[in-house]
């Protein structure tokens, strides 16, 4: 075996790589046939070579690694499932002190479990944003902004309650008090009931429901939460021409819309009521009503806050950028088929739509759940 072979083998077996990866490196270097012939020689050379460990071993196999209850093989303590068979690993003393990684992130349609930052723990000293950023797979700037905004704010969405509990425990040991809220609890598919008008009756308010005209009266003390924000929707239409396997954009148009929204939650129920600027009757404002909906929504918000000063007030828009890291806005693209765009010209038209409606509803319901 020449010097180049020896150097390559030392690099393979002195690293922290798994045995399977070591074998793959040898296979790529020698090929299948040569590898079989050289294995005796390789083993002999390795036994007679003074290998130098240039990097420290991250986890001690005896004290840190976790034995899988299924296949019996060892996995690092920062994993929640076995690296070989995928079975859930038990929680050990070593895993409690290590930032959990490699969690499976659930799809949007799956029932996830949200780790929600509530507050900074009082019994913990200075919080280290770098440690939190590593655990949450976020950048330090985002974590710092989360701490400045304060909770409740979702910081991670896990596929299982076990993963969420494990991450929550680690974050608690590093200064963040967290709660776990399941997607099912937020009931996004049953949004707050839309209301058409609000009337102020001294010690109570009268909410008139949209379409049905049913009336709900709520006392000042029963109003517990206001969540203000906006529903932002974007529609993008693109005309593409495909030629020789490549796409060329011929035309693109984008239309955006946003409507101011106020969610009102009573203390004795969880569904809530929603005011959307479009189609709302602002007659309840009396003399404060103007010709512009944006001014009317501002005046209505002020009147609601004045009516129930003890109710919690939350602004969605100042937290929207942070929410995008955990709850991405809904996006979907549809192909409208081949359409004529001019004399003798055709193109494939696509329509993309994006909306933060579900994200806003999740955020609103999360605050009501933690009220």
Q: Which residue has the higher pLDDT, 366 or 3?
A: 366
Higher pLDDT, 267 or 76: 267
Does the structure show a pLDDT above 80 at 243? no
Q: Judge whether residue 266 has pLDDT over 70.
A: yes
pLDDT digits (tens, 9 = 90+) for 246-265: 778 888 889 999 999 999 99
| Pairing of β 113-120 and β 153-158 | antiparallel
pLDDT for the residue 41:
52
Which CATH architecture describes the domain 99-186? 2-Layer Sandwich (3.30)
State the span(s) of the chain assigned CATH 3.30.1390. Answer: 99-186
CB 268 within 8 A of CB 248: no
What's this model's pTM, rounded to 2 decimal places? 0.77
Once rounded to an integer, what is the mean pLDDT over residues 127-155? 90
Helices (H), the chain: 3-13, 19-30, 32-47, 93-96, 129-136, 140-149, 161-173, 183-186, 293-307, 320-323, 357-369
**pLDDT at residue 6 greater than cutoff 80:** no
Average pLDDT, the chain: 83
């Amino acid at each position: 075996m020449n010097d180049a072979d020896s150097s390559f083998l030392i690099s393979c077996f002195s690293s922290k790589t798994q045995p399977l990866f070591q074998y793959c490196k040898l296979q790529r270097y020698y090929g299948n046939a040569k590898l079989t012939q050289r294995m005796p020689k390789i083993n002999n050379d390795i036994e007679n070579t003074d290998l130098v460990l240039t990097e420290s071993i991250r986890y001690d196999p005896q004290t840190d690694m976790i034995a899988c209850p299924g296949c019996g093989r060892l996995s690092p303590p920062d994993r929640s499932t076995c690296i070989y068979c995928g079975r859930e690993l038990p929680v050990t003393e070593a895993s409690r002190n290590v930032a959990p990684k490699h969690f499976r992130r659930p799809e949007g349609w799956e029932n996830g479990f949200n780790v929600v930052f509530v507050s900074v723990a009082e019994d913990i000293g200075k919080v280290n944003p770098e440690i939190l950023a590593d655990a949450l797979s976020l950048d330090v700037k985002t974590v710092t902004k989360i701490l400045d905004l304060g909770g409740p704010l979702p910081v991670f969405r896990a596929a299982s309650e076990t993963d969420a509990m494990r991450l929550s425990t680690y974050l608690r040991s590093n200064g963040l008090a967290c709660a776990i809220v399941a997607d099912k609890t937020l009931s996004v598919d049953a949004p707050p009931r839309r209301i058409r008008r609000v009337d102020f009756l001294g010690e109570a308010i009268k909410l008139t429901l949209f379409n049905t005209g049913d009336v709900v009266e709520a006392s000042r003390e029963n109003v517990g939460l206001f969540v203000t924000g906006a529903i932002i929707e974007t529609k993008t239409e693109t005309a593409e021409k495909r030629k020789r396997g490549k796409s060329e954009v011929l035309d693109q148009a984008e239309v955006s819309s946003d409507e101011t929204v106020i969610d009102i939650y009573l203390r004795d129920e969880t569904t809530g009521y929603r005011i959307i600027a479009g189609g709302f009757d602002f007659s309840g404002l009396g003399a404060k009503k103007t010709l512009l909906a944006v001014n009317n929504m501002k005046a209505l918000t002020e009147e609601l806050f004045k009516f129930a000063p003890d109710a919690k007030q939350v602004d969605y828009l100042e937290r929207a950028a942070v929410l995008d890291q955990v709850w991405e806005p809904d996006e979907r693209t549809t192909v409208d088929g081949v359409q004529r765009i001019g004399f003798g010209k055709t193109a494939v038209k696509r329509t993309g739509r994006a909306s933060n409606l579900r994200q806003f509803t999740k955020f609103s319901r999360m605050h009501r759940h933690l009220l």
